[in-house]
Amino acid sequence: MLWTFYLVKKIVGLIFTAEMNFFNQFGKYVLFIRGMFSKPEKLSVYIDRTITEMSNIGIGSLAIVVIIAVFQGAVTTLQIAYQLVSPLISKPVIGSIVSDSSMLELAPTITCLVLAGKVGSHIASEIGTMRVSEQIDALEVMGINSSGYLALPKIIAGLIMIPCLVIISIFLSNAGGIFAGEASGILSSEEYLQGARASFLPYNLFFALIKAVTYAFIITTVSSFHGYTTKGGALEVGASSTKAVVYSAVAILFSDYLLAQLLL
């Protein structure tokens, strides 16, 4: 009996500590975001940095987004065709399902999960390295708002470029679907496009963009926060980078569910 009581007490204690840690971290995250928004020391420098980050995030991630989108569309087409083996279902339905899935879920969510790995780890390790090598301290001593200078251009660049990448991903998913349909002889491009057109709702595209903007904010802020709060040396920079990716991915999946529940 005493042993059970001790175990329950221990478990409750652990849950309580974990919860407190979560709220503590979340509070710090909110303060970090709030701290970024002060009057820029020089707007032109911030604009230059934003353009550079747009190139890093957008152009730098284009290749991986293209590859993932094309294969994602192609594989989805083949699997949908495999599952819908009934003479009662017309072939354009395959195109309709693939294009809707691409727009509503695959392109925004899968693309952003990949970007959480690529962009997120890059942001966290870059800022984390600056932290442990005292470069952030140097900015602060100069009188520069270091969180604003380092993170704000990345966040703005992410908010602009990640939705663009998601739109490209939607387009290429469909291109991949058409290619796979034609190559395997399952359905022609006309049948695919007929289905895609029939089920197209402009709201779905709007929903995809809402998702993309939300995920962009999560990836850039969570990664910047983990980089900025790094303490220690090279090992901790690696740990921050990993944490940034994991937390971003979990937050993306959680908000994916929340957005679907609220907006669909």
Q: Taking Cα atoms as reference points, which of 29, 19, 21 lies closest to residue 223?
A: 29
Out of 9, 10, 42, 197, point to the residue binding another protein (CB under 8 A). Answer: 42
Report the residue number, 59 or 142, with the smaller CB distance to another protein.
142
Determine if 141 is a binding residue for another protein (CB under 8 A): yes
Report the residue number, 143 or 202, with the smaller CB distance to another protein.
143
Determine if 144 is a binding residue for another protein (CB under 8 A): yes
Out of 14, 16, 41, 254, point to the residue binding another protein (CB under 8 A). Answer: 41
Other CB atoms within 10 A of residue 20 CB: 10
Q: How far apart are CA 112 and CA 240, in angstroms?
A: 19
Report whether 119 contacts 61 (CB < 8 A).
yes
Determine if 50 is a binding residue for another protein (CB under 8 A): no
Report whether 127 contacts 151 (CB < 8 A).
yes
Report whether 130 contacts 146 (CB < 8 A).
no
Which residues in 173-202 contact another protein (CB under 8 A)? none
- Count of residues touching another protein (by CB under 8 A): 15
Q: Taking Cα atoms as reference points, which of 204, 172, 217, 207 lies closest to residue 64?
A: 172
Report the residue number, 100 or 140, with the smaller CB distance to another protein.
140
Q: How far apart are CA 249 and CA 231, in angstroms?
A: 22
Per-residue DSSP letter, 109: I
Determine if 138 is a binding residue for another protein (CB under 8 A): yes
Determine if 105 is a binding residue for another protein (CB under 8 A): no
Out of 90, 135, 188, 194, point to the residue binding another protein (CB under 8 A). Answer: 135
| Chain contacts with another protein (rule: CB under 8 A) | 41-42, 45, 130, 133-135, 137-138, 140-145
